[in-house]
């Protein structure tokens, strides 16, 4: 395979050399006549038109002549990496003349782009222990850095607009952001040019017509600042929707996706229903994109006018800030556009933009990957490359429904240049394709607080991302990787569990522990009404975690949860000491894990269909009758444990103003855990994929638990004492 890649590249090099040679043919006579009394072109014009063509020709001819013998007499052990490294170094070291005609630049830069693609292919088919591997890596890094700088400086597409002084105005970055305008959220397309930031609204156009933009405002970069100029300028309150509303929309989107797949299978995609469902999904995803972001990104102009964007990710905010600050380091002059100039610039945005569609999955082709669904286990091991000791931590972000969300955070490693976190996290993936890691320095100095509300004041030391390749992460083994960021290297491992597998309830092979063991066996062994693990976790959460923001929603460190699991399974004498010292989110996570790993759900497999039917009843009296009867039908250990958990969750929700966990939020977290049927029941119900249950039944599972959470207090004795007006077998 490596030989095939090299042969293909060599053939394209031969064509390229012939093209360069063709350019040299007219150059020589033109250059000769330039010194005569009647020149066709001046020396300067010849130098401009044929800029560095001779040098470029010699570089590629030398590379071709050196590589050809290796291909003709092929040997897998032969090393060619040094040739590519030399080619890349020489090619990018050719200085670029800004006045050169664009077409004269196209071929050399296109060759670097082609070389980059070939280097990717060669690395895939070169063993890591081959002497070529590090050389090819170096060559790839050099060419990628060169292309990044070229994109900002000489991309012909981005120099199509000029300033009043005739200087090139290039598009550096663009994307869809949510702007807070007059108290409401508006989706904007923001364009960062080399000298100004332009915020535009996409106009509604009829089908078949070209899209158009309307400029809402612009700020010259010379006038833009991130600092408040007036202390009286207060950051407006950001309206944040309850999490349960966001979760309900996500569930609806999952249901629609499942319906689309069923329609395609039934009618081979010819049904009008597919288009109707796509339109409906687009509406739901667009709503989510507009209402999910909460991280503020404020900018101001020199006249005191402020603008507020809301982003979903600190990574994204950092990228925009860094791009603007990099441009501001140049000698920028204030610019004022006339109405005509502004109209021309706005009209050009359709041609210049790099982001064409709102980032929702309904805009993607069927052939495009839909991402991963399930759980990603990530261990953040360590980092190195820091020049000074600092208090360091990392956060993890993954994309979901078109935007990125922060999912986990390591502890702060104090006063070090080489933090050793070694923390494991379980991250739920919902169509995710990318993992981002951000490394921060924790700021404890309150004098450095930013004046904006909700602003993260900790300093981002570095950031990087890795694509979640299904073939790589779906291996049963841990995949070790390193992300490089600003000279810092963060080492981590990851392993993926698909949703189909994660939804399985697997009984424990050992009946001596508590995890994966029937609740009736555990309570009988312990001679208790409620399992010891449930009582202790509830007690600890109520003692010191009931005021914790996001309790039961924020993931605990997986290694801590596994340590607690092992302690409960072995009935360790140190369990109470461990509980008192352990992070409260790990204790909350252990309780959730216990219910998730029960061999059958707490509300039982047998009653699951009846719970689904009962919650769907419209008549309040009939629903009350049915739902109470179903509770009475539970085995006593299950019922008493459920009522104990129910009252605990109500007490947690009483602290919602502090911990931000409403009854809806708690219902979303615990509903599927307490009701999701075991695999045997899934098979009986003729549902081939566990993910179908996720799509269709999660909302109902949440509603069942929410019904009991919103119900007046329910006592075990009263339930057993009361009788139905009429009785039915369940």
pLDDT in tens, 11-31: 878 888 888 888 888 887 888
Q: How many residues are given for the chain? A: 730
Mean pLDDT on 385-394? 94
Average pLDDT over the chain, rounded to whole?
A: 81
pLDDT digits (tens, 9 = 90+) for 214-248: 999 999 999 999 876 454 455 566 777 777 778 77
Q: CB neighbours (10 Å) of residue 657? A: 7
pLDDT band at 199 (very low <50, low <70, confident <90, very high): very high
Three-class SS of residue 606?
coil
Nearest to 303 by CA among 220, 192, 198: 220
pLDDT band at 680 (very low <50, low <70, confident <90, very high): low
- Class of the CATH-defined domain 372-502: mainly beta
pLDDT band at 446 (very low <50, low <70, confident <90, very high): low
Mean pLDDT on 473-485? 83
pLDDT digits (tens, 9 = 90+) for 321-369: 999 999 999 888 888 888 888 988 998 898 888 887 787 766 565 544 4
Candidate from 58-67, 502-511, 689-698 with smallest mean pLDDT: 689-698
For the question of whether the overall pTM of this predicted structure is more than 0.95, the answer is no
Spatial separation of the C-alpha atoms in residues 91 and 136, rounded to whole Å: 15
Q: Is residue 371 a contact partner of residue 428, using CB atoms and an 8 Å limit?
A: no
Candidate from 55-64, 103-112, 516-525, 564-573 with smallest mean pLDDT: 103-112
Domain boundaries, given as residue ranges, for the chain: 2-154, 162-235+294-358, 243-290, 372-502, 519-721
Spatial separation of the C-alpha atoms in residues 531 and 267, rounded to whole Å: 51
Greater pLDDT, 457 or 29 = 29
Q: Is residue 375 a contact partner of residue 367, using CB atoms and an 8 Å limit?
A: no
Spatial separation of the C-alpha atoms in residues 629 and 722, rounded to whole Å: 9
Candidate from 105-109, 166-170, 304-308 with smallest mean pLDDT: 105-109
pLDDT digits (tens, 9 = 90+) for 278-332: 888 888 888 988 998 989 999 998 888 999 999 988 999 999 999 999 999 988 8
Highest mean pLDDT among 45-49, 427-431, 723-727: 427-431
Mean pLDDT on 565-569? 93
What does DSSP say about strands 413-416 and 168-169: parallel, antiparallel, or unpaired? unpaired
Mean pLDDT on 108-137? 75
Spatial separation of the C-alpha atoms in residues 373 and 428, rounded to whole Å: 8
Candidate from 68-72, 287-291, 410-414 with smallest mean pLDDT: 68-72
Candidate from 319-328, 464-473, 526-535 with smallest mean pLDDT: 464-473
Read off the tokens for 573.
């004498």
Left if phi > 0, otherwise alpha if psi is -120 to 50, otherwise beta: which for 527? Answer: left
- Class of the CATH-defined domain 2-154: mainly alpha
DSSP secondary structure string for all residues of 439-506: EEE----GGG--SSTT---SEEEEEEEEE--HHHHTSSS-EEEEEEETTEEEEEEEEEEEHHHHT---
Q: Which long-range contacts (CB under 8 A, 24 or more apart) does 202-209 make?
A: none
pLDDT digits (tens, 9 = 90+) for 151-163: 544 444 444 455 5
Beta bridge partners of 390: 416
Nearest to 60 by CA among 108, 25, 106: 108
Spatial separation of the C-alpha atoms in residues 616 and 614, rounded to whole Å: 5
Q: Which one of 3.40.718.10, 3.40.630.40, 3.40.50.300, 1.10.555.10 gives the CATH number of domain 519-721?
A: 1.10.555.10
Candidate from 110-119, 269-278, 611-620 with smallest mean pLDDT: 110-119
- Class of the CATH-defined domain 162-235+294-358: mainly beta
Q: Which long-range contacts (CB under 8 A, 24 or more apart) does 212-216 make?
A: 212/347, 212/350, 213/189, 213/346, 213/347, 213/349, 213/350, 214/346, 215/342, 215/343, 215/345, 215/346, 216/179, 216/181, 216/188
Greater pLDDT, 504 or 74 = 74
């Amino acid at each position: 395979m490596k030989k095939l890649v090299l042969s293909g590249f060599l053939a394209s090099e031969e064509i390229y050399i012939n093209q360069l040679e063709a350019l040299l043919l007219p150059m020589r006579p033109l250059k000769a006549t330039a010194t005569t009394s009647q020149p066709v072109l001046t020396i300067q014009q010849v130098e401009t038109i044929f800029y560095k063509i001779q040098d470029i020709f010699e570089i590629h001819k030398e590379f071709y002549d050196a590589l050809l013998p290796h291909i003709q007499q092929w040997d897998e052990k032969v090393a060619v990496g040094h040739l590519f490294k030399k080619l890349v170094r020489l090619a990018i070291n050719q200085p670029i003349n800004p006045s050169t005609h664009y077409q004269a630049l196209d071929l050399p830069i296109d060759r670097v782009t082609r070389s980059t693609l070939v280097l990717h292919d060669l690395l895939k088919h070169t063993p890591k222990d081959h002497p070529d591997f590090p050389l090819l890596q170096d060559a790839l890094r050099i060419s990628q850095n060169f292309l990044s700088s070229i994109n900002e400086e000489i991309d012909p597409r981005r120099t199509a607009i000029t300033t009043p002084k005739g200087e090139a105005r290039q598009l550096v970055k663009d994307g869809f952001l949510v702007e807070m305008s007059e108290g409401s959220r508006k989706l904007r397309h923001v364009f960062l040019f080399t000298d100004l930031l332009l915020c535009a609204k996409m106009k509604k156009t009829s089908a078949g017509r070209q899209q158009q933009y309307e400029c809402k405002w612009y700020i010259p970069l010379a006038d833009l600042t991130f600092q408040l100029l007036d202390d009286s300028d207060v950051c407006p309150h950001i309206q944040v929707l309850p999490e349960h509303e966001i979760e309900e929309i996500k569930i609806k989107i999952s249901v629609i996706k499942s319906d689309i797949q069923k329609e395609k299978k039934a009618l081979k995609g010819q049904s009008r229903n597919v288009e109707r469902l796509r339109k409906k999904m687009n509406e739901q995803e667009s709503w989510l994109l507009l209402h999910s972001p909460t991280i503020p990104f404020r900018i101001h102009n020199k006249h005191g006018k402020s603008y507020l964007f809301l982003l979903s990710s600190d990574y994204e905010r950092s990228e925009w800030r860094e791009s603007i600050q990099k441009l501001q380091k140049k000698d920028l002059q204030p610019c004022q556009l006339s109405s005509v100039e502004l109209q021309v610039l706005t009209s050009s945005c359709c041609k210049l933009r790099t982001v064409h569609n709102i980032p929702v999955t309904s805009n993607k082709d069927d052939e495009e990957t839909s991402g991963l669904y399930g759980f990603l286990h990530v261990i953040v091991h360590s980092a190195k490359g820091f020049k000074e000791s600092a208090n360091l931590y990392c956060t993890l972000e993954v994309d979901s429904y078109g935007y990125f969300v922060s999912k986990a955070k390591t502890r702060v490693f104090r006063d070090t240049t080489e933090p050793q976190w070694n923390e494991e996290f379980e991250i739920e993936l919902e169509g995710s394709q990318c993992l981002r890691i951000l490394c921060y320095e924790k700021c404890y100095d309150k004098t450095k607080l930013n004046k904006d509300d909700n602003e993260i004041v900790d300093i981002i030391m570095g950031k990087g991302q890795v694509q979640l390749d299904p073939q790589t992460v779906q291996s049963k083994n841990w995949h070790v990787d390193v992300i490089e960021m600003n000279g810092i290297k963060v080492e981590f491992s990851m392993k993926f569990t698909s949703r189909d597998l994660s939804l399985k309830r697997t009984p424990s092979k050992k009946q001596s522990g508590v995890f994966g063991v029937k609740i009736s066996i555990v309570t009988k062994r312990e001679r208790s009404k409620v399992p010891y693990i449930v009582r202790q976790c509830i007690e600890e959460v109520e003692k010191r975690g009931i005021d914790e923001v996001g309790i039961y929603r924020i993931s605990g460190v997986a290694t801590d949860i596994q340590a607690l699991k092992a302690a409960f399974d072995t009935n360790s004498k140190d369990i109470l000491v461990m509980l008192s010292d352990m992070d409260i989110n790990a204790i909350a996570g252990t309780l959730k894990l216990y219910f998730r790993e029960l061999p059958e759900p707490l509300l039982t497999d047998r009653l699951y269909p009846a719970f689904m039917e009962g919650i769907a009843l419209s008549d309040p009296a009939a629903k009350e009758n049915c739902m109470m009867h179903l509770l009475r039908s539970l085995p006593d250990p299950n019922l008493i444990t459920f009522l104990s958990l129910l009252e605990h969750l109500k007490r947690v929700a009483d602290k919602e103003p502090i911990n931000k966990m409403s009854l809806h939020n708690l219902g979303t977290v615990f509903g599927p855990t307490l009701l999701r049927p075991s695999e045997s029941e899934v098979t009986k119900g003729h549902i081939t994929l566990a993910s179908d249950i996720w799509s269709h039944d999660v909302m109902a599972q949440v509603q069942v638990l929410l019904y009991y959470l919103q119900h007046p207090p329910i006592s075990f004795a009263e339930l057993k004492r009361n009788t139905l007006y009429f009785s039915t077998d369940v």
